[in-house]
Each structure stands twice: as structure tokens, then as C-alpha cells.
Structure 1
């Protein structure tokens, strides 16, 4: 029985490496070719299609795993910002800049259809954003005329609208980010 443990551990380790390779290949490939299929992703990961399907039963399951991976990456970067320090409005704009850097690094985020669990993926980000806005409201740095939850909802919607405009070719990423900064500053500043 103990002879099987190293074999099982090695298989698990191989499976973990395959899954990691598949996710990395999917992110890299989908950033440049958002409609890439499972076969192309398998080739990029140097695994078989069957290996991809063993980890992800469908392309949607793989896309959801990619989004989970990118969400975790983004949350780590957000937490590194130190949002509890400094002027709240400045921190909101830093968070927006971080989001734009994520779009620039991973253009696939601008091209993905609405996915299952997308709202849940936003929850940790919106919770941090709402905490930041409430801190700014308490300090008088952010308007108190509008509820914090409404401001968060509006910020997220404006961010999505800017992203959609970039994705559709209506604005460059730089112009969208600058426009978003101006809009958010005017929205959030007390009158």
C-alpha cells in the first residue's frame, strides 16, 4: 500500500503541472486569439485535447478557470495597493489604473462573453471598492450625496462601458482610461 503513495503523488503532481500548463497556454493564446478552440489551446500547452478535457469538461469551463486565475491575480495586485492608506479618491483612481493594466496585459478580458459566476468574481473587488468609498465619505473626500453602494455600482458599470468601447475600437485604452479618470473624479468629488 505504501508503494502506491509515491506513484499517486507523482500522478497528482503531473496532473497539477498539466493543469497549470493548460491555464497558462489558454491565457497567452486567448489574449491574442480570443476565439481559439480547445485543440489549439492543447497544442500551445503541449498536451492532448483529452488532457484538456480531463481537467476542463468544456471550453466554457476552461474560460471560467482562466477568469478565476486572472481574478486571483488581480485581487493580489489590488491588495498590494494598500487601499487603506492615503486619500480615498486617489486610491480609487489607482485601482482603476490597475484594472486598465490588467486589460492591457490580458486583452481577452475585453472580448469574453458574459460568463457564469462573473458577478461572484466581482464581489471581492466591489467589497474593497465599497470599503474605500465609505472611508472617503467618512473623511469628506468623496460625496455623501449618493450611497456608497450606488457609487460602486456606477463605477463598475462605467468601467465596463469604457472596456466595451475599447473592445469595439471606439476609444484607445489610454483615452478610455483618461476619460474614466475624469468621469470618476467628477462623480466622486463632493460638491
Structure 2
């Protein structure tokens, strides 16, 4: 096989993988128990092609969650976290993540019920945690946030409170708007925000 043929095969495989993930995100958000066969049909590939890329449904769901995380991170980067007051940047980051999650409520609720190792969960949150830590450190350096608590602790608290806000919405105890406001208020208090 020539190098151009090998490149074409890799490009075809990448397109197939992207098509599968696109179809899985859309279909599973509408029907979280959709079969691999249905996802393959929606992606325009065979079931065997889906399994060639994702040997199990769990691996497909993990890749779908990675795709949504990438989308959230891109949304966070688009709101320019390095300008304006740190508290404003924090709220923009949270809102960007919430907007992304809001597009996939059914899918994220289904995926969140699956078991995941602490290491995999930490790796998945790492890009979000890095951006969050950057905002926290900037706020502490400018004294917009107090520096009594370490940034890594504040990152962990933010992730946990974000999950709690989502759980309240999923349980029907709060609307998305109420949960977002409660999250904003709680975090600004935890961070000792001066604004």
C-alpha cells in the first residue's frame, strides 16, 4: 500500500469515527437507549464499523462524553477567560459550560449514571479544571478572591457544586436558571469574591 493510500484510509477512518460520534451524540440525546445498530444507521456506517472504532457501548459513551467535553472547553475558550474581573470570567466559564450541557440534558443524565473510575473522571475534567484554576489563580493574584484556600481545592469544590446543580435540575427541584444562580452565588461566596 502506498503512503497516499494509507493516508486516505486514515482519513476515511477519521471521517467514519467523527460521523459515528456525531450520530451518537444526536441520537442518544433523543433516545438514550438507542442501539448501536441505530447509531450505525444514523452515521451511515455498518455496525461492524462502529465496533471497529468503539469495541463496547461503554467505550462509545465515553467517547461521546469526551466529545461533549471538547465542545464545552471550546465554548469556555471563546468567552476569553483572561480579560475583565476574575469573578466575571468565572461566571462566563460556568455559563459556557452550562450552555453546552444544556444542549444534551438527556444524554448527560444517562452517562452520569454509568460507573467511571476516579482517574478517568479526573482526566475528563482536566481541561475544564485547568481553565478554572487559571481564573482562580488570577483572581487570587489580583485579590478579587481570597487566597485562604488553595486553587486545587477551589477547583474540586467548583466541579462538585456544578454536579450538584445538575443533579438538582435532573431531580426537578430547581430550574436550570435557579441552579445556575445558586451555583454562581455559592461559588462567589466560597471564593471570597470582593465584587
- Structure 1 range deviating more: 166-175 or 150-159: 166-175
| Aligned twin of 2:109 | 110
Residues 87 and 193 in structure 2, CA contact (< 8 A), matched pair in contact too: no
> SS where residue 37 of structure 2 aligns?
helix
Residue 65 (structure 1) aligned to one of 39, 53, 63: 63
Give the corresponding residue for 2:40. Answer: 42
Q: Name 1:17's counterpart in structure 2.
A: 15
User: SS at the partner of 1:111?
Assistant: helix
User: How far apart are the structure 1 equivalents of 2:167 and 2:45?
Assistant: 33
Matched, 1:137 2:135: no
Contact 2:20 2:40 in 1 (8 A): yes
Query: In 2, distance between residues paired with 1:179 and 1:37?
Result: 37
Q: What residue is the counterpart of 1:93 in the other structure?
A: 91
- 2:183 pairs with 1:180: yes
1:148 match: 151
CA contact 1:162–1:180 (8 Å) conserved in 2: yes
Q: How much does 1:88 deviate?
A: 0.5
CA RMSD in angstroms comes to 1.9
How far apart, CA to CA, are the structure 2 residues paired with 1:178 and 1:25? 33
Q: Deviations over 1:45-74 (max 9, x none)?
A: 122211111111011111121122222222
Change (3 A) 1:8 1:147: closer
Per the TM alignment, residue 87 of structure 1 is displaced from its structure 2 partner at its CA by 0.5
Q: What's the offset of the Cα at 1:28?
A: 0.4
2:170 corresponds in structure 1 to: 167
Contact 2:71 2:100 in 1 (8 A): no
- Aligned residues, how many? 189
Per-residue CA distance 1:168-191 (angstroms, 9 max, x = gap) = 222221221122112122222347
Give ranges in structure 1 of 5+ residues lacking alignment: none
- Tell me which residue corresponds to 1:77: 75
- Checking the alignment, whether the CA contact within 8 Å between 1:133 and 1:142 is kept in structure 2 is yes
Name the CA distance, whole Å, in 2 between partners of 1:110 and 1:179. 20
Q: Which runs of 5+ in 2 are unaligned?
A: none
